[in-house]
Structure 1
Amino acid sequence: MDNSTLYDIQYLSRELNLSNRSVYYNITSISKKLIKENIEPPKNIRGQGYYLSNESQIKLKDKYNFHKKVGIDVKSRRNIIIFLMIIDSPLNSISKLSDVLDVSRNTILNDQKSIRKIMEEYGLNLEGNIKGHHITGNEIKIRDLIQKNFSMLNSVLDWMIESERDLVKEEAKSVINLKALITNWLRTVEESKYISFTEDGKNSLISYYSVVLMRILNEHVLRKDLTETSNLRHQKEFGWSKDLFAQLGLEDSKYVSEIFFLEKSLLGVQKDRLGTHVNYDIKNILIEVTQKVIENFKKLSGLYFKNEQQLSNDLYVHLISTFYRVKYKHQYTDNLVTEIKKDFFDVYTFTRLSLKPFEELNVAQLSENEISLIAIYFGAQIIYENNNKVLLVCSAGLGTSRLLKSQVESYFPEIRIKGPVTKNEYENNFMNLKYAVVITTIPLDTNGSNNIIRLSPIPTQNDISILRKLFIRKKVISSSRIENKFSAIMDIISDFTKINDYGKLSRGIKDILADNGGTNMGDNSKYKGTQRLDDLITKDTVKFEQNNVNDWRAAIESAAEPLLKSGNITMEYVHSMINNVEKNGPYINIGNMVALAHAKPSEGVKKLGLSLLHLNRPVNLLDENHPIKLIFVLAAIDQKSHVKAMAELAAILRDKGKLNQLIGAENYEQIENVLDDSKQNKTNPK
């Protein structure tokens, strides 16, 4: 609305979590509505993307009052104030905050009261003076506050960078400059060939320590702590930490405790590779402990691993960082990994019970987040299969790449995924190798390739649907996988319409595919094999209506007539199909101008059947947003006999050309030609 940026279909699909076809459908729908309002619809520059003209932007802003400034919500506003307090910003006075955040002074005062209560939960105080309000108390506790909320603080920083206020942008630049300094410093550390950090590990340290450095530069310096200093001084991390402070001109002896603090943080950063000259004191002990943990897991779970040596190597590297995070009280607090406990509870439980040898090394217990991270390594190895056509590229730090890998392999157990590899490894070593599909959680340069797909660490059902189609197109899996599951129908629905309640729709489709036990199936022995689409759609089951159908109810009744006459269904089934739409909405609208009416087998199915009504003009399915011209009626009797027909129907509806041929057909012979073409393409692929 505020720019002329071009947005291509792939970008919109990714951001809206929709398939490409769903995006096309929505753009078409929006365009129709804009035309009715005499507003020019989105324009498309071929190969570049869509945009709204300036005139359209102005009209939309006037019509829907978009000129009105949108305020910041309460939670975000308070987060901004907390961030400014942490970095000792000069914007912290009530008058400046009121101006920057565009709220009254009383609102700021109320925000500060709420923030004071939050600080009390951390054992901290909120104090004000002529320069503004500041967070006071034990500096370690303040840094604990920063660590537990660095994701929130990053969001605030993003807001500050995008702010229209120059003062706010200047404050953000201070932190951004420190982030750049830390990034370059870490690059120098890695160039020593001694160590390699994961992308997530580096990003976490950069985000966290840039804010800590702001406090150090504002004279919030830790008091001297002489405990364990002799051991810490012998680590390479001590020298690296000292180098960073030297770059900042902070070489005075009063910063020694801060150098040790940075060293402890650096020791806990997750690594994906250790150098050949690693000299950690705990190294030899951890090699032995790692083996004990793996043996415990095998005994408790009764499971074995496809590649135990890889598991041992990866887990050992992970546990080195974990040891120091626990020892120096920097355990991970990322909420993403806690979902592992919910989704993979058995693996999580076995892992927790297996970790006693490791926990005995430290006084503190492992948090649920840390246990979940370790569980990922076990889960990934349990589902390790044979196939080498797929590569996974991730910022492999928190182990989210392994979570994604295990979930994809659980959906597609016949494939083996290579990796994960980092972005650098991909660009230097793997980009030129012939992988059929590359899955990534981070942006990659596609170079015009159509085999790269970006997924979130916990993929949605829509993500899996898109991935399945890519696997089939690239011959990673056989198309028969779709033909043998109800997802053939779900795929086509998700392609052409936005699913508001996936669970309800899924259950409804599964109901019609299932044999509910109470169904009177009559003589169905000849349906024990799978039926093709052209076995069911015949001249006797196809109807053409000119102007006799005026609404969707009449359309369903008319579409069901061939099955009623042949005894495949009873009138009860027709009523149930209509009731389903009245109760659940237009969910049977599975594509452009297409509806698939159905009900439970127990509600009047006698024999397997499929019929089609072709209307001369469309009728609205409940509302004008769901016009339908083709109404299929499916009467299913079991889980298998109709699946091939549904898969073939789904393939036709995915093909825009064939769908248009069906919509434009004027007689049965033209419909038969579409079915014959599809059958021919299936048996004689090019």
Structure 2
Amino acid sequence: MLTSRMKTIFRELMAAETPITGKYLAMLNQVSSRTIREDVKVLDSLLIEHGAYIDSIMGQGYKLGIMEEQLFRDYLKMLAIEDTELETIIPKMPEERIAYLVKRFLLSDGYIKLEELADELYISKSTLQNDLGHVKKMLSVYDIRLESRPNYGLCVNADELKRRFCMAEYIFIREEPVNELFKPHFSSLSQEELDSILVIVMEQIEENGVLVSDIAINNLVIHLAIAYKRIKEGYNVTLHSADIDEILEQKEYKVAQKIVKKVQEKFAVHFPLEEVAYIAMHLLGTKIAAHPAAGEKAVQQVIQKQITDLVMKALGRIESKLNLGIQEDQELIIALSLHLKPAVNRYRYGMNIRNPMLQDIKVNYPVAFEAGIIAGITINEAIGAVIDENEIGYLALHLAAAIERRKSEVVPKKCLIVCASGLGTAQLIYYKLKSQFGESLEVVGTTEYYKLGQCGLEGIDFIISSIPIQEELAVPVIVVNAILGESDIRKIEKYILKEQKNISVYFKRDRVFLGQELGTKEQTLEFLHEKLMEQGLVDEGCLQAVFDREKVAPTSFGNFVAIPHPITPHSETTFLTVCTLKKPIIWKDKPVQFVCLLNVMKESQEDLQVMYDLLGRIIHDSAIVERLIKAKTYEDFMKVIAL
């Protein structure tokens, strides 16, 4: 039987392309290297019986080896069933079904028929098709495809290494019970009552084939619970709404009526007409995001002007601080207004809900999360209620979608490929670039080196060449290998993201403090503030502003990294300050040993996404973080950063 520590080690080994040191595994598990050696020995003896082993490489660390792929996959299947009771729990929520399907396909040896999956999950074929769209997107991140074959069904197409990386993410994570996703702090509402509301909502959504996002379901269940609680306690729940005729004509209104009818029968309460219309609004939310014409007028009639004004005020403040260019995004304005209408009620009654995606949102969309915090502060000022980080995470999802839409509008960079000879090399680079960068990079052509002089370079942003070019050209030249590796991709990314500054601009010698002996988060932040005050880079109030930001949501991202920053700017320039620690400290609930304090200049018009992308490439790679923590000198530190 695997212990939780062994599962962590196993998961890390499965997800790593290169050996992992015992020291890193010890830091991760907060135990000694000797304990890790013992765990690895036991784990290795278990794996040998199931077609795998752990290779201990001198001076490098541990690496997972596979002897018999099928035997090993059968073992993973057994672990998944033990760990998540895959065969006995029928997932109800869309996100749970998607996670279930991902595991189901990863662990399957062959084709699975759609009818079989629909029966397993007790859902319609159309609902399954919708879920499969999300599954395909999730698998595509790992270059895994779902292949369809008539009369056979679907099966996974992937090389085993990529399949294994994906398994590492999805096989060993224990799913939380459904009811944990919907557990606001009610004193007068039992868990059984809350579960009953969820079941009613899910049944009606499935039966009537309504497409509803996970967030909309969250909001709808919580809203119904709040409405029920207030009706039960004798409060008038009538909403201030305009003419709702437009809502009454929608198909979703009929579904809302069915939901309310079931809730009324179950709990012996009466919902007024306005409440039924409002529930229909939740059901319309996803539809409107996809097809704004379908019911936009209806929603605008029901959403109070105060809500739209609040959204516009929040977006105005986000724009002034982060310069994201999303203030006029109509889809975002509608989405946030729809989200905020019930959310404001929750905030007022102290019913913040848990966000199961919070950690992923913080790590993958840090700029959107900061924008969410600004929005949360604006809402707090308007209604006098504290918005916790779970709610901020939901706001950040809407903001992240708008940021991605904005990115897709950016004109792609143009490049020319140069190779020594032969079309084969150029084509190899061309197809790799298209798969890696898609619409953000346009390859205008390929040429051999000796013909470069005949090519006009007007409109070209840079040249990608498989050989060094000595002569001076009007545009930058990026020299890469014929078979593009990770370092080549990073070089090209810098140009696409306009990161043409020397990386040392971000990491100045006098702002990098290595191997410090500090025992707490507070001591570390005080130490950095003192150093920056000595250099005249921040004002006296900067430290309190950093602590104020931490109160809203901790900036520890996992992987031993924290990126604190003041809630409002307190410097005249934008810069990073790094502090590595001899021993990890606990930052809220995560161990941290690499602290990067980010200061942004007052009234900044810079693109913060570039800075976060630079940090993201560092902090998401455990091997890089480990080497940065071990660096003894500034030169050693910069060598790791420059890789």
TM-score, normalised to structure 2, is 0.31
Select the structure of larger CA radius of gyration. Answer: 1
